[in-house]
């Protein structure tokens, strides 16, 4: 199917191809991305847009001897295809298959793992310093490839600043597609936009092409040192004299660009010449997100990621079932209609966090900080200090980057910031960089921080209402966290009507004296399924929906422990430092002994990517495992269960 691409087992195979053949490989790369993602799903528009620059880099440089460090990683499908993984693309983002991001253990060509934005420049600079200290300066080239959205991350700017005046041979390649997952925002985005639309752009590119034609030697071959020094002067001076890349030049870089990031011949010539430039270089490439697929080019935001079959469900074409994100979105809109002090903040994820609708209805109270979680949280602290009610919606795994700000600037000052953590728990195909399983552990120990998690959609709505209408103005005012998972809310016929949200109070779903099951958030529904099974076997279960990880409901928990003597504690977060740990601490503090306890949660290792039912099975977070634990505590025999029943049973719950 792919005449040339199928023959490429490593980037070395590109070196013998003609320019015409390289262009054919470019076309085949895009076709392979479309063909494979129509079956597996995955990040789409960004990978199409980056294919040409990836191909040019691998044609010119010799990875892994040369070091190319990619940012984020979701744009690197072409890189994976050119490094021997084309035949494994049918397993992309599936359990046991190749990752949708970069992983050092997956390939020698993945030199640095990536999943969160903004890391490439700092990491690549580390590679450059290590190279120089080992005396390999003339033997290895080091490049960081970063997108314009990732450039808004504070870490990226820190790395850019530190490496700029180092005088080391170091290249930063900016893949500028004028697009992040949503619209790019901020001053840097505005600055880059001015470069894109500058009237000198066309003349710059024309002069660059003309200059390269005059360089001695055959196209694509290394130019002589003498010629490269002329090239160095002219390329960098070409733009800088017209005040285009002055920001990057002031940071210590020789700026080249903007240049068409889809002109393969130009890119190959350009990177071949850059190999001979000394010192830090900043290459500004303009690309089109979704290049080669018309629908993705027209709406890159919608086609950021796709879902099979044949892209029936792209990023903007969500399933019709109600999700936790959609419940959050509607709840916040309803509350904001009657409260002008409510503001919403996101760090470059308005669609993923459900704030797109809010941004349109209340644009003056909506703030997208770009990929800058630390700033987002500190900004929210400032709003709260002045009497606003800031709702900071950030993925659980991304809030990790703002930990110090949560502790030092929010909690220490006891400011009533509402944190809504989407994607808490296992997220599936995106894997260990995106599993939101650490938030309970990294937030629970911070003084003044209160933590909630809903069992279903109505309870999430009630928790948001409670946080904004009662908590932030009540005697317990301070930072509050609501965590909820990715995906659809469960539809469960609970045996009791839901009780109102009260500070530090759990909800009793079933009363029983044989065994107590204490479940938190997303685990309440499967815990109830296990309860129904156990009750049918004559085991009397006290099922408690904890609601609060902090403060815990002392009366409910200690009462259940003393009454049953058997506790099963379930959470979709790491066991170490999680809710189970908190309850064990409570039992010890209260002097309650002789209680049999079984903890369920995410084990002490990074969980792979894969479908949620598979991951829940691997982590033993299934109704069958919960029921089996109760029988063990009761000394009851276990029934025979088919091996696949665990996955099938959980799928029936979440379907």
CA 512 to chain centre: 41
- Cis peptide bond N-terminal to 260, omega within 30: no
> Encoding tokens for residue 53?
């620059």
Residue 462 in contact with residue 502, Cβ under 8 Å?
Answer: no
Among 179, 172, 170, smallest CA distance to 132 is for 170
Among 387, 395, 309, 388, smallest CA distance to 342 is for 388
Residue 331 in contact with residue 393, Cβ under 8 Å?
Answer: no
Catalytic: which of 401, 444, 483, 550?
Answer: 401
Q: What proportions of the chain, in percent to the nearest 5, are helix, strand and coil?
A: 45, 15, 40
Q: Which string of b and e fits 20-40 if b means at least 16 CB within 10 Å?
A: eebbbbbebbbebbbebbbeb
Distance (Å, rounded) from C-alpha 444 to C-alpha 450? 8
Distance (Å, rounded) from C-alpha 171 to C-alpha 61? 12
Catalytic: which of 28, 373, 461, 507?
Answer: 373
Distance (Å, rounded) from C-alpha 411 to C-alpha 408? 6
Strand partners, 282: 172, 255
Catalytic: which of 289, 455, 486, 566?
Answer: 289
- The one-character DSSP state at 83 is I
Residue 189 in contact with residue 299, Cβ under 8 Å?
Answer: no
> Encoding tokens for residue 146?
């970063």
Residue 487 in contact with residue 654, Cβ under 8 Å?
Answer: yes
Q: Is 636 a catalytic residue?
A: no
Distance (Å, rounded) from C-alpha 19 to C-alpha 4? 13
Work out the widest C-alpha separation in the chain, in whole angstroms.
88
Strand partners, 144: 69, 172
Strand 366-368: give its sheet, edge to edge. Answer: 366-368, 342-346, 389-395, 418-422, 480-483, 450-452, 548-550
Residue 68 in contact with residue 145, Cβ under 8 Å?
Answer: yes
Q: Is 401 a catalytic residue?
A: yes
Q: Which string of b and e fits 98-132 if b means at least 16 CB within 10 Å?
A: bbbbbbeebbebbbbbbbbbbbbbbbbbbbbeebb
> E strands along 350-493, which residues?
366-368, 389-395, 418-422, 450-452, 480-483
Write out the H or E segment, with its range, that includes residue 381: helix 373-385
Q: Is 373 a catalytic residue?
A: yes
Distance (Å, rounded) from C-alpha 115 to C-alpha 612? 19
Tell me the catalytic residues: 289, 373, 401
């Amino acid at each position: 199917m792919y005449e040339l691409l199928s023959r490429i087992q490593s980037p070395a195979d590109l070196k013998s191809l003609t320019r015409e053949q390289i262009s054919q490989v470019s076309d085949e790369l895009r076709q392979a991305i479309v063909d494979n993602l129509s079956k597996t799903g995955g990040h789409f528009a960004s990978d199409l847009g980056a294919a040409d620059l990836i191909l040019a880099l691998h044609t010119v440089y010799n990875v892994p001897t040369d070091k190319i460090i990619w940012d984020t990683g979701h744009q690197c499908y072409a890189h994976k295809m050119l490094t021997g993984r084309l035949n494994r693309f049918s397993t992309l983002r599936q359990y046991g298959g190749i990752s949708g991001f970069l992983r050092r253990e997956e390939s020698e060509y993945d030199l640095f793992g990536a999943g969160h934005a903004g890391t490439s420049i700092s990491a690549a600079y580390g590679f450059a310093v290590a190279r120089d200290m080992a005396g390999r300066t003339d033997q290895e080239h080091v490049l960081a490839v970063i997108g314009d959205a990732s450039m808004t991350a504070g870490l990226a700017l820190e790395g850019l600043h530190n490496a700029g005046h180092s005088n080391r041979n170091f290249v930063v390649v900016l893949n500028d597609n004028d697009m992040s997952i949503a619209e790019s925002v901020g001053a840097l985005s505005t600055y880059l936009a001015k470069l894109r639309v500058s009237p000198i752009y066309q003349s710059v590119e024309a002069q660059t092409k003309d200059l390269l034609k005059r360089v001695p030697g055959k196209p694509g071959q290394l130019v002589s040192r003498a010629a490269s020094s002329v090239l160095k002067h002219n390329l960098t001076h070409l733009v800088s004299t017209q005040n285009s890349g002055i920001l990057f030049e002031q940071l210590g870089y020789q700026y080249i660009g903007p240049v068409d990031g889809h002109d393969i011949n130009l890119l190959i010539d350009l990177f071949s010449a850059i190999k001979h430039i000394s010192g830090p270089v900043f290459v500004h490439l303009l690309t089109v997100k979704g290049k080669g697929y018309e629908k993705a080019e027209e709406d890159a935001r919608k086609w950021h990621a796709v879902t099979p079959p044949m892209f029936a469900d792209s990023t903007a074409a969500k399933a019709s079932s109600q999700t936790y994100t959609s419940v959050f979105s509607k709840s916040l809109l309803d509350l904001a209609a009657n409260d002008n002090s409510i503001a919403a903040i996101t760090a470059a994820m308005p669609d993923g966090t459900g704030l797109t609708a809010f941004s349109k209805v209340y644009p003056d109270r909506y703030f997208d900080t770009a990929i800058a979680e630390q700033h987002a949280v500190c900004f929210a602290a400032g709003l709260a200090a002045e009497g606003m009610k800031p709702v900071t919606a950030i993925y659980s795994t991304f809030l990790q980057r703002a930990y110090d700000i949560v502790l030092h600037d929010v909690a220490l000052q006891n400011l009533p910031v509402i944190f809504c953590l989407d994607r808490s728990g296992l997220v599936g195909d995106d894997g260990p960089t995106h599993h939101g399983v650490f938030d309970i552990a990294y937030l629970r120990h911070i003084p003044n921080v209160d933590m909630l998690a809903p069992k279903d959609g109505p309870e999430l709505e009630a928790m948001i209402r409670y946080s904004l209408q009662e908590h932030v103005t009540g005697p317990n005012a301070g930072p509050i966290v609501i965590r909820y998972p990715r995906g659809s809310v469960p539809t469960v016929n609970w045996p009791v009507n839901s009780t109102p949200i009260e500070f530090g109070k759990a909800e009793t779903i079933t009363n029983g004296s044989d065994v107590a099951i204490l479940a938190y958030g997303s685990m309440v529904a499967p815990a109830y399924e296990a309860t129904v099974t156990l009750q049918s076997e004559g085991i009397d279960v006290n099922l408690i929906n904890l609601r609060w990880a902090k403060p815990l409901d002392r009366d409910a928990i200690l009462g259940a422990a003393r009454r049953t003597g058997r506790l099963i504690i379930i959470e979709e977060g790491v066991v170490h430092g999680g809710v189970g740990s908190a309850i064990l601490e409570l039992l010890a503090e209260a002097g309650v002994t002789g209680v049999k306890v079984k903890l369920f949660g995410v084990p002490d290792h990074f969980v792979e990517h894969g479908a949620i039912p598979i991951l829940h099975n691997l982590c033993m977070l299934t109704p069958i495992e919960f029921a089996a634990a109760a029988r063990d505590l009761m000394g009851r025999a276990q029934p025979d269960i088919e091996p696949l029943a665990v996955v099938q049973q959980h799928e029936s719950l979440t379907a």
